[in-house]
Amino acid sequence: MPGKLQQHNFSLIELIAVLAIGMLLMGVVTVRSNRIPGFLSLDESARQIGNVLVTASRQAAATGSDMTVIYRAEERMFCVVPATNDTVAAVPQYSNSLKKQFMAYVLPEHIELSFPELENSTRRPILGAGTFYLFPDGTGAGPATVLKLRGKTVKLHLSPLTGSVIIDHSDAQSEDAHVDS
C-alpha cells in the first residue's frame, strides 16, 4: 500500500551492541563511584574511633564498671575491653575474638596514627600509647590521637570531665565536631 508508513525494526545485533555499551558504561561508573576521597576516609575513621570511645563510655555507665579502649598497633585496631586489675594479662586472649565479643574498629592501613602527647613525654601508660580509660560517672582519660592522610590532619581529644570526644580538623577552617556520649 503506497500510503502506509514503513516500519523499521532493530536487528538483534544492534540490540546486543547497545546493551553491551550500556553495561560497559555502568561498569565504569560503578568502579569510579567506589573510590572514596582521602579526606572522607579520614573523617570517617575519626568518627569510628569516636564511636568506639562513646560505646565504651556507655558500657561503663550501664555496667557500673570501668572500661578501657586499647589501640593494638600490630592489628591497627581500637577495641573496648573491661578494665580489671589483670587487664594487661587479659589483652592477648581478646585478640582472636575481639570483633565478635567487643566493639572494635580496624584503622585503614593508609591512615597514619600518632599519640603526640605521649611521644614527647617520659611517662608511659600501663597498657601502651593508645589506652583510654572510661569511668561509670561519665568521665574519661586518654591521650590526644592524631590521624593523617595526604596532608590532612584530624585530632581527637577525650574530654576528661564529660568523656565526650572532640574531633578537631586542625588543617581545615571548620568548627570542632563533638561526638556526644
Output the pTM of the full model: 0.65
Q: pLDDT tens digits for 111-153? A: 888 887 665 555 544 445 678 888 999 888 888 888 888 888 8
Distance from C-alpha of 125 to C-alpha of 132, rounded to nearest angstrom: 9
Which amino acid appears at position 19 of this protein? L
The three cell numbers locating residue 27: 561498569
More confident residue, 118 or 28: 28
Residue entry with cell 502506509 = 4
Distance from C-alpha of 109 to C-alpha of 177, rounded to nearest angstrom: 24
Q: pLDDT tens digits for 72-125? A: 888 888 888 887 655 544 454 444 554 555 678 888 888 888 887 665 555 544
In this predicted structure, what is the pLDDT of residue 4?
66
Fold of 38-179: minor pseudopilin epsh fold (3.55.40)
Reported as a pLDDT band with limits 50, 70 and 90, residue 32 is low
Q: pLDDT tens digits for 51-79? A: 989 888 888 899 898 888 888 888 888 88
